[in-house]
Amino acid sequence: MNNKLNHIKGDIAGSIGDLGTFLPYIIGVITIGGMDATAVLFTFGLMYIFTGYFYRIPVPVQPMKVIGAVVLVSGLSTGEIAASGILMGLALLLLALTGLADKLALLTPKSVTAGIQAALGISLALLGIKFINAEPLLGIAIVLLMFFLLGNPRVPAALLVVLGGTLISLIIHPELRGLTLNFGLNWPQLVYPQWQDFYRGFTLGFLPQFPLTLTNSILVTAALAKELYSDKAIKVNEKNLCFTLGVGNLLSMPLGGFLICHGSGGLAAHHRFGARTGLSVIIMGVFLVLTAIVLGPSSVKLLELVPQAVLGPLLFYSGIDLVVNIKGLDSRNNIYTFVVVLIISIAVNPAIGFLVGLPLIYILNKGLVKP
């Protein structure tokens, strides 16, 4: 009984463990990109619920980061965003239905996925430090507090930090207290991309995002799930991840949603802060759906109350967790490939690290070059 209660407490706390990655992009595409808050939160919430029910472990639901950055910098329209999401959904569904996802997984050695995983972990930790610098006193205090809280599985560290840190921020910044929320019943508005939307959706959205989705959301997430959850992660394979993302994006786009992915950083975050079952992400999904329906466009104001000094420590510890969970690099060739992929993934991007790592490990194992 006590063990079950501890799992439930962990799932509740771990449900918000991925806010550090989730909130900045979601708030950005709504406030700067002009997307409808109701549609974005509603579709993410539905995907969270479905993912938790299907996988039975806390597989994350995140906004696609490259396209998120493009929306903020290049100003993709809602039609162009929908077009890029439809293309992404079709491509991922094709990988799942043809079996290419499984074949790609068999061709990708541990050293390559581990290098990408470590690069993503370091990148998340560095982003966390950047967020902490926004309010260093509060941020560093939360980092130190979490260091002690995370050692006690009975304490919902992420939940305490998000609620407590937000409350402290409201006390420090009285100008944030004048929040007005508009209650009512709100529903997503349908979006119909035009043929001309597919050009920019393909060139600015799909093309730069697809390689990162393939490496981080599919290959690395499947590998990390097995490390963290072993037999419980039996459904979290490359084919299923492609399928759920393909279907999820195809269904979300007409509803005005933003592109969805399963990130390894989010998986590490949910696990680090106590989540162990699909209940964790279902809780998050229900919260997002209700927030979207009840608060509609004003819901983003509620999300903006969580300060960067709170999100930073969540990102920092999630990133560290991605790195320390790497195992199985048991040969000189694997370690050498791991280091090369890690450096290239950070310096350029994970897709290039992947393309360099595959032939490199083959060359090393054949003895054509000795490290």
Q: Closest Cα partner for 16 from 213, 286, 240, 223?
A: 286
Model pLDDT, residue 143: 92
Q: Which two tokens stand for residue 266?
A: 């989010």
**Sequence letter at residue 26:** I
d(CA 321, CA 4): 24
Model pLDDT, residue 257: 95
Q: Which residue has the tokens 């910044």?
A: 173
Model pLDDT, residue 348: 86
Range 87-99 average pLDDT: 96
pLDDT at 103 over 60: yes
Model pLDDT, residue 247: 96
Model pLDDT, residue 27: 86
Q: What is the pLDDT of residues 14-71, one digit of tens each?
A: 888 888 878 888 888 888 788 999 999 999 999 999 999 999 999 999 999 888 888 8
E runs forming strands in 153-286: 260-261
Contact (CB, 8 A) for 57 and 232? yes
Q: What is the pLDDT of residues 199-252, one digit of tens each?
A: 999 988 898 888 888 888 999 999 999 999 988 999 999 999 999 999 999 999
Model confidence at 324, pLDDT cuts 50, 70, 90, reads: confident
pLDDT at 3 over 90: no
d(CA 211, CA 356): 13
Contact (CB, 8 A) for 65 and 212? yes
Q: What is the pLDDT of residues 138-174, one digit of tens each?
A: 999 999 998 888 877 666 778 888 888 888 888 887 7
d(CA 167, CA 164): 5
d(CA 358, CA 167): 48
Model pLDDT, residue 295: 92
pLDDT at 83 over 90: yes
Model confidence at 196, pLDDT cuts 50, 70, 90, reads: very high
Q: Closest Cα partner for 188 from 247, 245, 251?
A: 251
Model pLDDT, residue 350: 84
Torsion of CA 126, 304, 167, 309, to 10 degrees: 10
d(CA 280, CA 284): 7
User: Residue 62: which H helix or E strand, with range?
Assistant: strand 62-63
pLDDT at 72 over 80: no
d(CA 271, CA 318): 9
Which positions ≥6 away from 147 have C-beta within 8 Å? none
Contact (CB, 8 A) for 215 and 351? yes
- Residue boundaries of the structural domains of the chain: 2-174+197-365
Model pLDDT, residue 70: 81
Model pLDDT, residue 319: 87
Burial of 99 (0-12, 13-18, 19+ CB in 10 A): exposed
Q: DSSP H helical segments within 230-366, as ranges?
A: 238-252, 264-272, 279-295, 299-303, 308-324, 332-347, 350-365
Model pLDDT, residue 153: 64
Burial of 22 (0-12, 13-18, 19+ CB in 10 A): buried
Model pLDDT, residue 4: 67
Model pLDDT, residue 328: 76
Which positions ≥6 away from 299 have C-beta within 8 Å? 37, 38, 41, 181, 291, 292
d(CA 322, CA 320): 5
Q: What is the pLDDT of residues 284-318, one digit of tens each?
A: 999 999 999 999 988 888 888 888 888 889 889 88
Q: Using a pLDDT cut of 70, give the percent of the chain over it.
A: 96
